[in-house]
Amino acid sequence: MSVRRLSVFAPLACIGLALFAVGSPARAGGITTNWLPTGPGDFMENANWSDNVPQMEGYGNTGFFTINNGGEAQLSVSHEVASGQLGQTTGQSGILTLQTGSNLILKRNDLEDDAYGTIYVGVAGQGALNLTGGTLSGVDLRVASASGGTGSVTFSGGALNLSGVLYLGDGGTGTLNQTVGVSTLSSAIIGASSTGSGNLTATGGLLDIDSLTVGGTGEGTLSVGGTATLQTASVVVGSNSGSTGTATLSGTTWTNSGNVTVGGAGQGRLTIENGASLTVNGLLSLSGTSGGSGALVLDASTLDVGLFLTIGQSGNGTATISNGSTLTADSIVVSGESPAPASSLTVTDSTIIAGQIAGMSNGSASFADSTIRVTEDNAAYFLGLNEVSLLGASNTFDTRQYHISTSTALLGTARLIKTGAGSLALLGASSYSGGTYLQQGEIVVNNASSLGTGALEMDTSELRSTATATLAVTELTVNAAQAATFSTAASTTLTLDLASLDLGDDATLRFGSAGNTGTILFGADTVNATPGGTGILSLEYGTLTATDAALGAIASRVSKVFVKDGAVLNFNDQSSSVDIGILEGDGILTTGNSVQTTVTVRSGRFGGQLATPGQIVKEGSGTLTLSGAPQISDGITVNAGTLLVNGAASSDVFVTDGTLGGTGSADVITLQGGTMNPGEIGEAGTFTADSLVWVDGDMVFDLGATPAASDQLILTGGLYGQGTTYSFLFNLAPGAVLNTTYTLITFGSQDIALNAFTIANTDGLDGTFAYNGSALEFTLTAIPEPGSLLLAGAGLAVMAISRFRKRKSPSA
């Protein structure tokens, strides 16, 4: 963890607020004038005052006033005073109404005497200040400033401008209700003293407060909703020991440029609901001091914290995020005092966007049907949390492009869904039981419990292990048209023990990835995949070894098996037969060492090593090219299509139908039907074998302009016949010269009479066969007319088809 992250756990400094002074102002030699009418009257009428209209004219003037007799002074012009009191003592009351066009200015004298610039609304009595369109400008406004007093400020128009402090409930019970207008305050303390309680409610207009305290030493309540908006620079809710603060933002916006503390040394609660939005550019701390507690409730709303959200720091905190809310923070830290877990983050049906979620001690986090979206790489996500629970139906971890690791165990009953192109490393001993859905990117594991329990579902994504481990999965599903990759680090072994595998149509099951070349042991009790489907089994890196017959079943049901150069696919004597549609790659494919497995292949190009104690059977109408070094103990059988052996095959080849060709080599070739065409089909080439046993079928040779440009069969052993006649089909290339002699077959020995060889061509091509030492030669004595060459090709094709139809060819 970086130094920057550790700094969030440092104790908050300077949380405490000074106790707030209560009571009446000192007069400092000024003259106080008292309101006389017991009902409403004009503030500017001298007769309504005991010593004329209060006015600010300098030190020692009559700028002080009181309204204590239940009357109401109404001001409709601009006027300056020093200080005023409404409801000074118990049983007294007073009302001041600032009407449209008025501006009551509370000024301090040249000596900046604290007795000046303040209006008291309810000291020990009852006071009411009504702003119905006028403006109050001053230093301080104290509402209910003594124990037993009540004061109210009703704000239905105009403006309130204070350069000092609004004390709301400064000993007594104070309220401020704003429906329209603008309040611009340097500071506001709601519930300022231990005996005070204050309530500020705004349903319209603008509240612009630099420093806001809700619950200073007493009880404070802030409620902002409707069309009102709130702007602050710093906020403390539940500041000092014994205080209680509650702040509610409902359906509107609040912007704070600095830090917010909910539960300093007191009890604080912040509720954001009904589509509201709070932006905190600094820190948001829930309980920053020992003994305090802070609660955050985010309900169907948005909270954006520019720096850290600390849930419980020296005290205990809770954050409850629900109902489609979005919480964004650079980091979220959950910790608290004993007993554990003392602090908690609870998220339901909501989204958390954070670079880190962590804890120091006694902290827990739970997520139900929610999304965690990360904003940066992090190697220690959930570090220090006592518990992380996945609840509800499912929870989504969206890594986006980042790489995240956690060693914390994940608990609960929900499903974990991984999205985003980045990686999520689950390195703890988790027990969540809802299964895992890997939609995008990569999940990294290192132990048997990394994925908890339950089914595993995958789209195009990768599951990678960094250590030797066994994953027992109840059900693995690879969705249709998706590519699921399993890999493990070099020199490690990942065992996949599946109860069942469901492979969707056109799905790819891939093993190994760049840099991850370890061994994967694969087994499944049940394989559900459409036989002859369009999926792919692909081995990219490392070794894939079967632990039961499931791997063979997969290979038999997908359309293609691919083994990359350097990779090893080992069926490990677990399958008696494997039926491969298309075989491609340059790696190693082996069926094991003891079981005589029959591997049926229909087409493809395989340049690697193909090895089995059993046999290879070529079926289907396609072409299979083997350019590696097949080691097939029971031989290769060609039943249909074309087999091109371009490598060195250590095996016998039996041709019952179809075509054998290529430029490689084999042991003994038995031609029982079909054709043998040395070289690539339609191109000249040389094939080498130990012997040829010719029972039936045709030899097809491409004859070029010169013998060197023609097909040839080299037999190191014998040319043996077990039929009666032996037919050649010749494809004559342009430029062939009459009386050219071609060497068709060389051998060590032969037992076929020369007159048993026949020419199957019907296009006018003719020649003679002859033995010349250890070679069978053919001399061209008749060449078809040039115009008939095209017809010749067609004739050969018809002849070949006719001959093949006489035999029963296996279908593709």
At 108 the pLDDT is 73
What's the chain's average pLDDT? 91
Nearest residue to 46 (alpha-carbon basis) of 73, 85, 19, 17: 73
At 74 the pLDDT is 96
The pLDDT of 599-622, averaged and rounded, is: 98
Nearest residue to 801 (alpha-carbon basis) of 789, 809, 791, 812: 809
- CB neighbour list of residue 797: distance below 8 Å, 6 or more residues apart: none
Cα–Cα distance between 781 and 82 in angstroms, integer? 134
Cα–Cα distance between 491 and 542 in angstroms, integer? 9
The encoded tokens of residue 317 equal 């905190």
Q: Enumerate the domain spans of the chain.
A: 27-113, 474-590, 653-805
Cα 146 → chain centroid: 57
Share of the chain above pLDDT 90, in %: 84
Nearest residue to 572 (alpha-carbon basis) of 523, 502, 525: 523
At 585 the pLDDT is 98
pLDDT in tens, 238-281: 999 999 999 999 999 999 999 999 998 899 999 999 999 999 99
pLDDT in tens, 141-163: 999 999 999 999 999 999 999 99
- pTM for the model stands at 0.87
Query: Residues 459, 462, 466, CA angle at the centre, nearest 5°?
Result: 155
Cα–Cα distance between 404 and 379 in angstroms, integer? 6
pLDDT for residue 101 is more than 70: yes
| Residue with tokens 């002699």, as numbered in its chain | 741
Cα–Cα distance between 600 and 616 in angstroms, integer? 6
Q: In angstroms, how far is the first alpha carbon of the chain from the final one? A: 61
The pLDDT of 713-726, averaged and rounded, is: 98
Cα–Cα distance between 417 and 419 in angstroms, integer? 7
CA dihedral 499, 504, 507, 512 (to 10 degrees): -10
Strand partners, 715: 689
The pLDDT of 288-292, averaged and rounded, is: 74
Confidence of residue 794 (pLDDT cuts 50, 70, 90): very low
The encoded tokens of residue 297 equal 């409730």
3-class secondary-structure state, position 550:
helix
The encoded tokens of residue 101 equal 């066009």
At 342 the pLDDT is 79
DSSP string covering 179-226: SSSEEEEEEEEES-STT-EEEEEESSSEEEEEEEEESSSSEEEEEE-T
Of 31-40, 206-215, 282-291, 536-545, which range is least confident?
282-291
Pick 405 or 314 by higher pLDDT: 405
pLDDT for residue 732 is more than 90: yes
Confidence of residue 530 (pLDDT cuts 50, 70, 90): confident
